[in-house]
């Protein structure tokens, strides 16, 4: 593994190796993340062409805990605004001796383009591209599920909400399939659930009660309004009424079901505060695990050469 561009196609052993490696960075109470010298002398460039709170910050923390030098390019103040192309930006940052690019971009495939054009010793990590893939979110979600549920082989996992625009949903579904989860459900209105999921063995449910009944894991997704326009935009209040996760709806899932969300959450739309802040929510542990998972990804790919 030279770059991490997608979860799709990664074998089960590789996924478990990344999760196991992440575990080695966490302390016994799973709250603290150790500092190690694995990336000392390396320069990691964070290039976020789209907004981010969790991913950008945890990549920065992760790279610093690996002892790398971290450079956060402020895209809004960069020469991108003067018309400099993506590949010219990459060429110039490479001339500053970048060893790794962490890239979020609104265009699906942008990290692939960068990986194709940068020098063989430079690594690229996809931090979310368009609606295509968000592999480190998928991995931290799998770490969270494995942490709380131990094993994937008995699990019913419901992914609920705006699936069609969600790179997280796509990455989670690929990872869950590879890791052997026997029942994956995609739950949402017809307009927001892609039809081709059935071909991937995913059970599509337009009825919320059917979708979350007896689930072990519920992954809630927000409406990605920034990827919709005009007639596509659903009404937030209608969506909340039908698919918003309330304590009453959560009671349909298994009593020990965990509730996940990649964030940012929209309280009162896809998730009630009583659920987001409740005893079954693991939304904040997901964020903490993200540091160790991103350390694992960066340290593993940095150790491999083309």
Residues that bind ligand CP (CB under 6 A): 52-55, 128, 137, 262-264
What does residue 123 show for φ and ψ, rounded to 5 degrees? -105, 150
Least distance between ligand CP and beta carbon 52 (Å)? 3
d(CA 207, CA 160): 11
Consult the annotation and say whether 137 binds a ligand. yes
Q: Is cis: bond before 110, omega within 30 of 0?
A: no
Consult the annotation and say whether 134 binds a ligand. yes
Consult the annotation and say whether 167 binds a ligand. yes
Q: Is cis: bond before 297, omega within 30 of 0?
A: no
Handedness of CA 11, 13, 15, 18 (dihedral sign): negative
Consult the annotation and say whether 82 binds a ligand. yes
Closer by beta carbon to ligand CP, 168 or else 205: 168
Q: Is 165 helix (H, G, I), strand (E, B) or coil?
A: coil
Closer by beta carbon to ligand CP, 134 or else 249: 134
Closer by beta carbon to ligand CP, 205 or else 285: 285
| Alpha helices in 188-261, H assignment, sequence order | 208-212, 236-243, 247-250
Least distance between ligand CP and beta carbon 128 (Å)? 6
d(CA 210, CA 193): 15
Least distance between ligand CP and beta carbon 121 (Å)? 27
d(CA 25, CA 288): 12
Least distance between ligand CP and beta carbon 168 (Å)? 7
Q: Is 82 helix (H, G, I), strand (E, B) or coil?
A: helix
Question: Taking the CB of residue 204, how many other CB atoms lie within 10 A of it?
Answer: 17
Consult the annotation and say whether 149 binds a ligand. no
Question: Taking the CB of residue 213, how many other CB atoms lie within 10 A of it?
Answer: 16
Closer by beta carbon to ligand CP, 54 or else 254: 54
Residue with tokens 């074998």: 11
| Residue 48 near residue 76, CB atoms below 8 Å | no
Closer by beta carbon to ligand CP, 128 or else 135: 128
Least distance between ligand CP and beta carbon 70 (Å)? 16
β-strand pairing of 183-187 with 123-129: unpaired
| Residue 269 near residue 240, CB atoms below 8 Å | yes
Consult the annotation and say whether 64 binds a ligand. no
Least distance between ligand CP and beta carbon 98 (Å)? 21
Closer by beta carbon to ligand CP, 178 or else 286: 286
Closer by beta carbon to ligand CP, 94 or else 262: 262
Consult the annotation and say whether 41 binds a ligand. no
Strands annotated E in the chain: 43-48, 69-73, 100-105, 123-129, 156-160, 183-187, 203-205, 217-220, 258-260
* Residues contributing to the annotated binding site for carbamoyl phosphate: 54-55, 104, 134, 137, 263-264
* Residues contributing to the annotated binding site for L-aspartate: 82, 167, 222
């Amino acid at each position: 593994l030279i770059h991490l561009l997608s979860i799709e196609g990664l074998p089960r052993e590789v996924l478990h190796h990344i999760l196991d490696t992440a575990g080695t960075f966490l302390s016994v109470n799973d709250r603290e993340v150790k500092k190690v010298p694995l990336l000392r002398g390396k320069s990691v460039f964070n290039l976020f062409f789209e907004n981010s709170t969790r991913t950008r910050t945890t990549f920065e923390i992760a790279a610093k805990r690996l002892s790398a030098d971290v450079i956060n390019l402020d895209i809004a103040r960069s020469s991108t605004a003067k018309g400099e192309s993506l590949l010219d930006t990459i060429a110039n940052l490479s001339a500053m001796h970048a060893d790794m690019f962490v890239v979020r971009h609104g265009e699906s495939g942008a990290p692939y383009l960068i990986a194709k054009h940068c020098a063989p010793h430079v690594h690229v990590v996809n931090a979310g591209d368009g609606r295509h893939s968000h592999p480190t979110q998928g991995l931290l979600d799998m770490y969270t599920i494995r942490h709380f549920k131990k094993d994937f082989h008995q699990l019913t996992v419901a992914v609920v909400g705006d699936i069609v625009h969600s790179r997280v949903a796509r990455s989670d579904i690929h990872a869950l399939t590879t890791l052997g989860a026997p029942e994956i459900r995609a739950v949402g209105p017809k307009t927001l659930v892609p039809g081709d999921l059935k071909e991937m063995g995913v059970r599509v449910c337009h009825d919320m009660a059917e979708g979350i009944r007896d689930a072990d894991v519920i992954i809630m997704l927000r409406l990605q309004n920034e990827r919709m326009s005009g007639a596509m935009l659903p009404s937030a209040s209608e969506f909340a009424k039908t698919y918003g996760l309330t304590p009453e709806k959560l009671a349909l899932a298994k009593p020990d079901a965990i509730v996940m969300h990649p964030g940012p959450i929209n309280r009162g739309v896809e998730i009630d505060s009583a659920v987001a802040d409740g005893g079954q929510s693991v939304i904040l542990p997901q964020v903490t695990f993200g540091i160790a998972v991103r350390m694992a990804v960066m340290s593993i790919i940095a150790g491999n050469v083309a």
